Amino acid sequence: MNAILLLVLLLLIALPVARFIILPLLVSLFLTMLSTPVINHLESVGFGRLTIIILFTILVVGLAFLTVMKILPLLYSEAIQISGRISAPEIYTSLQSALTVPRINRVLENYCDFVLYMKDQSVNTLRDNPPLFMVILIVPVLFFLILKDGYYLKKSFIQSLPNHYIEMMVNLLHRIEERMNIWLKAQLLVGLIAGGLTTLALISLHIDNYLLIGFMVGFSFLTPYFGPLIGTLIAITFALLETGSIRFAVAIIIAFATIKLLHNLLFETYIGKKALNLHPLIVLLLLFAGAYMGGFIGLLTIVPAANLFLIFMGEIYSNFKNYGYI
Amino acid sequence: MNFGFQNLRNNGKADLRVISKLRRLKLFQDFTPKELIEIARIVYVRHYRKNELVFKENHPGVGMYFVDSGSVKVIKSSHIDDERQLSILQPGQFIGELCLLNGESRTISAIALEETCLLAVFRPDLMGLLNRKPRLGNKFLMTLIQAVTSNLRKKDEELLQMKETLSNSDIIQ
């Protein structure tokens, strides 16, 4: 009873700061999932577990340092550069000069308003969330603690359960871990390939903000059905803003068609087996909600987040059903 | 509810009580103290009240149990009567080993007959041990398979004896 009261009290205290914890925790869990097989392998060939964990933490600290010192400032300056260009009259002129079709003006105006809204919402989302540098500083600490004590924390939690639920919880935690592991790795693979190829295509087209656009396109490919289309639109819009030339839009469409083809050929079969079958309508509704709430950030993250949530809930449901609780 | 985070407080150091309980089991006689420490890390000590269900038939099986103290009744539902008692397990014996090996559903139910202490080993933890310490994981599996085959041989002999008894009895004739 005391433990429950303590837990409720802790939750009440933690609620206002929960959003500062959740993102670093998710990033740390993701890094842990990625590094665990390598750590296990090194341990199996005779290295001490603690030594490997310390080495990996140093690696994560190095990555965090690189992100804070190099990648974030670069992404930030690209975002500022693009953001500066997204002001209605300029984007309109830029796009108008690119597409010299008079009838399309009204559509263009609406599109410009939409891009402006998306930019504002993205800025609001970033403002409401914990500063990225704080996330990056907390991640190595959490990463170390999860790797070192995660198993014992899980064991202590299972040990504290009544006998009636112990097998169900062991099974549930294992299934969730397994499914999320497969799903996250598959998504990472798709995102990296799509983002990497986009960045290369943009570099070859001499478009400046290749890193930010590549990053966004990588994320967009995690959304089924509409992801590649969103990615193409983002890349074309940003490239037009920068260059004002339709030539680049055509080149980007060709580049993206090739990337999508490669994606289909190499990964669709592999990912298709592991992905959840979200109905296109649901995906579309989620995309609208994401864009409305969080601009570009919401648009790119809402479907993968919903997918993750559905995996989690699906496993809970099937496990409860298998054990006859529902 | 007991939120005893002993494992976390001990920083993963195996509980000496668990090691001494493991030492008493025949299955772990050939294990070195160092190996027992590793095994103890994946063992859960569970206490059951009289008539408390350990696991139920047809539920997904995730692990096996060693009887440390008390006794466990093994039952199976039957077409003829509601349930049929198959055996009673005493300290040192184990149950649920097939689910540990193949991860399939339970084919029997187990109920504690009195205040009982069981040592549980679950499949995900064993898989983790096999990944981290393959030699120890394999030793555990080989020892377990030897014990299972030995049990199987005994059951075969019992079955043969029963068949002989039945063929000599008036029921068959």
Q: Which residues of B touch A176 (CB under 8 A)?
A: none
Residue B79's pLDDT band (cuts 50, 70, 90): low
CA distances to A134, A154, A160, A210 from A8, rounded to whole Å, are 26, 19, 17, 47
Alpha-carbon distance A108 to nearest alpha carbon in chain B (angstroms):
56
Q: By three-state DSSP, how is residue B120 classified?
A: strand
pLDDT at B117 over 90: yes
Instruction: Give the model confidence (pLDDT) of A129-156 as tens digits.
Output: 666 667 777 889 999 999 999 998 899 9
B22 or A240, which is more confident: B22
Per-residue buried b or exposed e for A224-238, using 16+ beta carbons within 10 Å of the residue's own CB:
bebbbebbbbbbbbb
Interatomic CA distance for residues A233 and B160, integer angstroms: 75
* Facing residue for A170 by CB, picked from B10, B11, B63: B63
pLDDT at A264 over 50: yes
Instruction: Give the model confidence (pLDDT) of A89-111 as tens digits.
Output: 666 666 666 666 666 666 767 77
B34 at A interface, C-beta within 8 A = no
Query: Which of A221, A223, A248, A254 is CA-nearest to residue A236?
Result: A248
Q: Which two tokens stand for residue B87?
A: 């055996």
* Facing residue for B4 by CB, picked from A160, A162, A322: A160
Alpha-carbon distance B3 to nearest alpha carbon in chain A (angstroms):
5
Do B61 and A163 make contact, defined as CB atoms within 8 angstroms?
no
pLDDT, position B3: 46
A156 at B interface, C-beta within 8 A = yes
A202 or A44, which is more confident: A44
The residue of A8, A32, A156, A181 whose CB has the most chain B CBs within 10 angstroms, and thus the best one to mutate to test that interface, is A156
The residue of B131, B135, B139 whose CB has the most chain A CBs within 10 angstroms, and thus the best one to mutate to test that interface, is B131
pLDDT at B2 over 50: no
Interatomic CA distance for residues B166 and B4, integer angstroms: 54
Residue A1's pLDDT band (cuts 50, 70, 90): very low
Mean pLDDT of chain A: 80
Residue B71's pLDDT band (cuts 50, 70, 90): very high
Q: Which two tokens stand for residue B159?
A: 């079955």
Instruction: Give the model confidence (pLDDT) of A184-193 as tens digits.
Output: 888 888 888 8
Q: Which residues of A touch B46 (CB under 8 A)?
A: 163, 166
B138 or A227, which is more confident: B138
Q: What is the mean pLDDT of residues B168-172?
A: 66
pLDDT, position A70: 82
Tell the residue number behind the tokens 């994946």, with chain if given.
B42
Instruction: Give the model confidence (pLDDT) of A37-54 as tens digits.
Output: 999 999 999 899 999 999
pLDDT, position A250: 80
Mean pLDDT of chain B: 86
CA distances to A33, A174, A288 from A185, rounded to whole Å, are 9, 17, 26
Interatomic CA distance for residues A155 and A150, integer angstroms: 9
Do A163 and B60 make contact, defined as CB atoms within 8 angstroms?
no
pLDDT, position A203: 87
Q: What is the mean pLDDT of residues A246-253?
A: 77
User: Which helix or strand (DSSP H or E) is residue A161 part of?
Assistant: none
pLDDT, position B136: 95
pLDDT, position B137: 95
pLDDT, position B103: 83
pLDDT, position B4: 45
B140 at A interface, C-beta within 8 A = no
Do A156 and B3 make contact, defined as CB atoms within 8 angstroms?
yes
pLDDT, position B10: 54
- Sign of the CA dihedral running B48, B52, B58, B59: negative
Residues A283/A303, Cβ–Cβ less than 8 Å: yes
| Residues listed for chain A | 326
User: Which helix or strand (DSSP H or E) is residue A275 part of?
Assistant: none
Do B124 and A173 make contact, defined as CB atoms within 8 angstroms?
yes
B116 or A309, which is more confident: B116
Q: Which residues of A touch B53 (CB under 8 A)?
A: 163-164
What is the DSSP pairing of strand B72-77 with strand B83-89? Answer: antiparallel
pTM summary value: 0.79
pLDDT, position B167: 84
pLDDT at B64 over 70: yes
pLDDT, position B146: 93
Residue B14's pLDDT band (cuts 50, 70, 90): low
Q: What is the mean pLDDT of residues B94-98?
A: 91
CA A131 to chain centre: 16
Residue A212's pLDDT band (cuts 50, 70, 90): confident
Whole-complex ipTM: 0.84
Q: What is the mean pLDDT of residues A69-93?
A: 73
Interatomic CA distance for residues A10 and A5, integer angstroms: 8
pLDDT at A118 over 70: yes
pLDDT, position B91: 94
Interatomic CA distance for residues A176 and B75, integer angstroms: 31
Q: Which of A259-263, B68-72, B133-137 has the lowest mean pLDDT?
A: A259-263
Give the chain A residue nearest B14 (alpha carbons).
A152
Residue B1's pLDDT band (cuts 50, 70, 90): very low
A113 at B interface, C-beta within 8 A = no
Do B7 and A156 make contact, defined as CB atoms within 8 angstroms?
yes
Interatomic CA distance for residues A109 and A115, integer angstroms: 10
Alpha-carbon distance A132 to nearest alpha carbon in chain B (angstroms):
30
pLDDT at A7 over 50: yes
